[in-house]
Amino acid sequence: MLSNRLSWEIRQNPLLELYNRLISSGVDVINLSESNPTLAGLDYNKERIEKALLNSENFIYRPDPRGLLRAREAVCAYYQGKGISIKIENIFLTASTSEAYSFLFKLLCSPGDSVLIPKPGYPLFEYLSSLEGIETIFYRLEYVSNSGWEIDFHSMERAYRKNTKAIILINPNNPTGSYIKPQEMKNIIEFCRKKNLALIVDEVFIDFILEEKKELINSFAGAATVGIDDVLIFTLSGISKILGLPQMKLGWIITRGPEDILEKVLKNLEIISDTYLSVSTPIQNALPEIMSLRSSFQEKFINRLKSSLNFIKESFKNSPFQPLKAGGGWTLILEVPKIISEEEWALRLLEEENCFTYPGYFFDFEKEAFLSISLILQPEKLKEGVNRIKRIFEKNK
């Protein structure tokens, strides 16, 4: 009786089963993979956010498929702060980046078509794609010790099929924290030209620069706006990450492409968006004021991320643990000694130390052994979590 889109196996693995059992029993578990910024003790300007949401205009419904003008103007201002000019008619507001993907999959793909996604990566796209009746095919990111993560273009070429409609880039990638290098972007643009593919660039973590050269990153920030007119490009972002407000439910799509197809793309994307009209009026009205808080919020947040990164590096200096290079984002990948499997690492951390983390296979790492560590954790929790990782090593070496 159920759709064949729901093809995934509905069961929890032993790690998540144990985690949920401990939490339901009231055990205080340190979640080293915490990705929810609202649980990380961040410094929000709550009074101004609350005031921005108290607007009498919220009681008037004026639906616009692209999103309210004042909200899209706030998105334009965000990019103007990066020196990037956006056409306001090319902006579509969505309730989330996930919804943005679903809109674009509807726009670009017929059932049975495919899109290319990076591996390692966050385990989201296979769910989103299956709900649209399409297939995801991996291309590889390869870790090179001297230069960090690089795109394996041979794997991208091998992954391509005649029914492939788009390439997805995550810039910076989650969880590797790797930014797309300028030459990589040029190569991908050329590949899209050659194969007549659309390019979807997810930049939700673009502002959280940790170690890369800022000028190189900003040269491709807002990839849909860098003057490329002969490839169809969609840039995604939203306040879930750039303002740490996932509960407010507002993201966006920026579209650029060849003039002969762009008008048709915009009209069809408007129909799709108009079918759902999912973004609430209060958050759209509040967006200009909330976006004005971005600089002060991000300055403090990035300081925490960098402090966490430096602490982890110092903690594992001259040890068998190896923090991988991360140019940006909220996560660090830690290579751990192969004295036990990475799943056993995660299980023993949870069973013996009440400390939860995702093993590398959760993100489709090709080899072992890796654990993920969130950089948004409060310093005292991060310090205790690192100590517990060290204790497991001492018990098993």
pLDDT of residue 13: 86
Q: What angle do CA 322, 175, 383 make, to 5 degrees?
A: 55
Total-model pTM? 0.95
In the chain, which residues have pLDDT < 70? Answer: 212-228
pLDDT of residue 6: 81
Give the chain's length. Answer: 397
The structure tokens 């309730």 sit at 95
Residue 93: its H or E element:
strand 91-94
pLDDT of residue 311: 98
Question: Cα-Cα-Cα-Cα dihedral of 287, 293, 294, 298, to 10°?
Answer: -150
Beta-bridge partners for 118: 139
pLDDT of residue 228: 66
Query: Domains (ranges, CATH) in the chain?
Result: 14-43+295-396 (3.90.1150.10), 53-292 (3.40.640.10)
pLDDT in tens, 358-369: 999 999 999 999
